[in-house]
A = this chain, B = another copy of it.
Amino acid sequence: MKSLGILSAGLVFAAALGTVASGDDHVDPAVMKAVKARQAQMQLYAFNLGQLGAMAKGEVDYDAGAASAAAGNLAKLTSLNGRAVWLPGSDDATLGEDVTAALPAIWEEGSEIGDKAKALSMAAAEMESAAGDGLDALRGAIGDVGKSCGGCHEDYRRSDD
C-alpha cells in the first residue's frame, strides 16, 4: 500500500490545483476538474504555438531546436485522448459562461468536433515535420495550424465579441 500512499500525496496536490478557480461552487467538482484540465491543455497549445508564432512573425530569431521542440509538443498535445475532459454536460449553457466557453453544439447530433480535432492534430503533425527545416518551412506550416484552431473555435467556442 506504500505506492498508494505516494499516489495519495499526488492526488492531494491535484486537488489543490483543482481549487484555484472561483465562481464555480455550483459545479460538480469532478466536472470542474475536467473543464480545468481541458483549459490547461488549451493553454499548452497556445504556449507552444506562441513559440512558433513568435518566430514566424520575426519577433524572436528562428531556432531549429526550439521550433522542433515546440512543434513536437504541439503534436503530442493535440493528439491527447479527450474523452475524460470533454464530458457531456460540460457546456457553457449547463455550467455557466463564467466556467467555460464550450458550446453545447460540441455534443449535439451532427457535431463535427471529431473532424475538427483530427484536422488540428494533422496540421500539428505537418508542423512537427516542417519546424526544424528553416523559417520558410515553419511559416508554410503555421497557417494550417492557426486555421484548424480557428475552425473549431468559430463553431464550438462562445465568442464574446
Q: Who on chain B is nearest to A79 by CB?
A: B76
Report A68-116 residues with CB < 8 Å from chain B CB.
Answer: 69-70, 72-73, 76-77, 79-81, 83-85
The A interface, classified by DSSP as helix, strand, loop or mixed, is helix
Interface of A toward B, CB cutoff 8 Å: 2-4, 6-11, 13-14, 17-18, 33-34, 36-37, 39-44, 46-51, 53, 56-57, 65-66, 69-70, 72-73, 76-77, 79-81, 83-85, 142-147, 149-150, 153
CB distance from A150 to the nearest CB of B (A): 5
Contact (Cβ within 8 A) A2 B77: no
Contact (Cβ within 8 A) B149 A6: yes
Q: A3-B147, A7-B56, A81-B69 are in contact. Are A43 and B47 (CB under 8 A)?
A: no
11 contacts between A and B (CB under 8 A): A3-B142, A9-B149, A10-B46, A10-B49, A14-B47, A17-B43, A18-B43, A36-B43, A37-B44, A69-B83, A70-B81
Q: Which residues of B contact A142 (CB under 8 A)?
A: 3-4, 7
- Among B13, B39, B57, B76, contact of A76 (Cβ-Cβ < 8 Å): B76
Q: Which residues of B contact A69 (CB under 8 A)?
A: 81, 83-84
Give A147 to B2 CA distance when docked, in angstroms.
Answer: 9
Q: A3-B146, A7-B146, A76-B79 are in contact. Are A39 and B17 (CB under 8 A)?
A: yes
